[in-house]
Amino acid sequence: METRVRSLVKAASWQLLGLVTMSILGFLFTGSLTSGGALAAASGLLGFFTYLAHERAWAGIRWGWISATGTIHEPTSAER
């Protein structure tokens, strides 16, 4: 399982990339840096928190992980 700091840094770097991409697309569609930037900022903020929550949820799910011994974790009846 990864640390919360790692999840946070991954989410931040992903959102920075998304912010730049969305700003460019927003500008191309609206012709306005202000409108494109506002759209990118709103999308980036929402996306940051939803991505972080998604990553943390999956970090706690052991299904599909391969252990150090090479065995694949299968869910128990309690985990299903």
pLDDT in tens, 36-67: 888 888 888 888 889 889 988 988 888 777 77
* Res 31 pLDDT > 90: yes
Angle between helices 33-59 and 4-30 (to 10 degrees): 150
Give the whole-angstrom CA distance, residue 48 versus residue 51: 5
Give the whole-angstrom CA distance, residue 80 versus residue 53: 21
The 8-class DSSP code of residue 73 comes to: P
What pLDDT sits at residue 41? 86
